[in-house]
A and B are shown apart, each in its own frame.
Chain A
């Protein structure tokens, strides 16, 4: 091994001081380091695998059963318990629960991901502007954030769902028809959940912008927009990624929550949440109505949370473990 001291004192012949040792083992990049740390986190790895399986279940399953079948009603088959024809049983109007968990899963996961996209965009933009520019902009944006923060999300959700519920007609994307309520729910969840992220991003920016490398970048003539996006934002990637991951779980839960109250995505479009809605009268008599969608929600949320934990540890630049 060589000592880690500076290897250069004679710039004229640079390569002579380069030892074979170092040539054989190039140092790890940030990405490799992160991956190594993530790999250590067994639970997070298991969670990631579970998530992949869930995605395969929802989207791969769609290739096997058709949506028509998932929405096919046969009242003569109401509340059938699991059997070989209907492995997860049937619901209150005779629809196959297995097929509905597949299509419901697609919607739930899509809602989770897109709502977080909106949340992250809004949260990062508002937080970054407030933290970087400070002063009056900061005051204005943060008071607004607090205002949104102070309204209990569930009331906001219910009111907005009621208000915007019928406003968007059904959409047809790639040959499939979605209830317009899906879009409404995505936006409602996205637009009510950003304040928390905005605060995190603002706090990150407040401390990061005081760093010497920001001054150095300004001394290089770098524009503000470039400093925000290229210099500061990557430094706050860890908390954003973690919060976004956890946000997906939250969005799926929130969707389940309001769909359960009958204000969310409207049938016949299935989601894991609105499948639970019809189940609460049959908690004891037909448990398969809630066990399957409930378990899927639980699994998804749990694995996303564990994944978030793993990412938090792996992305922490202060963590020195390799």
Chain B
């Protein structure tokens, strides 16, 4: 008995350690800027962070497109390997396994060259195309199909079914559990893919959420909440396919009785659970669509409009209204004094940079400068920015570093 209790404590302890990062993420997501309980992270993330939704829907599109094409292709190739005998079949199958075993890092360069040759490098297709032909699915399904009873296929042939109908009406329905298992495995893999988009995509707006979360600076204050929302869909998909996942990864056909022995619920209960999870998933996606729309509107009104100026070369006069007044020297970067925010003897300005993406959003970036001379209206500065940069003169709201802005009249 004592041994049993000790064993249970160990299990609980290890489980706790496993879920600790997730718990920390949830707890910290409810922490406000003052350290107390607050929903501000969720408020900011779900209503004011446009980049989150861009990343989220990119992830959804990548994952669903890849899985949607990969599974039928895998199913067809697995059927071919199981049902047909042709020359070089074993070699081809061996090649599939070798490809599956190869780490992604080893194939980066050939993949890059291929995609470049196909002229799709730095586009979303560069991530989708190599993954829809991944060999893991074909291997998993071929292993499963080998366990299917051949008598069923003979019965089908006797009934007059063609080969394609055999595949469609017998093989595919019987592989349902392995399809679900493959779906969840692929989903988790592609939902959190980082390396491939980082290498094969250049535009930040085409990146999936797993990359955007780490690459974009806008998640600094909402990182934990973003992590929690990011995890919801994989959890729902996992719940949806849980029974089939257990069944599918056994790589053989397991009967319902055996599944019940494994502690799985009956098929009816499983279906009920699936319908419930499906409903939740659809509702979650609909909610995300509405929140995307709301965020689009809120982001637009929250974005300040600015008027910019460019620095000029000029002879700075001590009295700005008197051209004959004493000269404060000839300077190559003279800007209106209102552009300079002072902090001690030095100061800083906000320059506008264009984001390196298809959306070409304008971003205010804080640049430290030295103040050379000033007459109260104009100020000569040095360092920081080149002459052609746009410097913020007026803004409809207070500006902070990294904020996206609209430029007046553009």
Real complex partners, A and B? no
Q: Give residues in A with beta carbon < 8 Å to B.
A: none
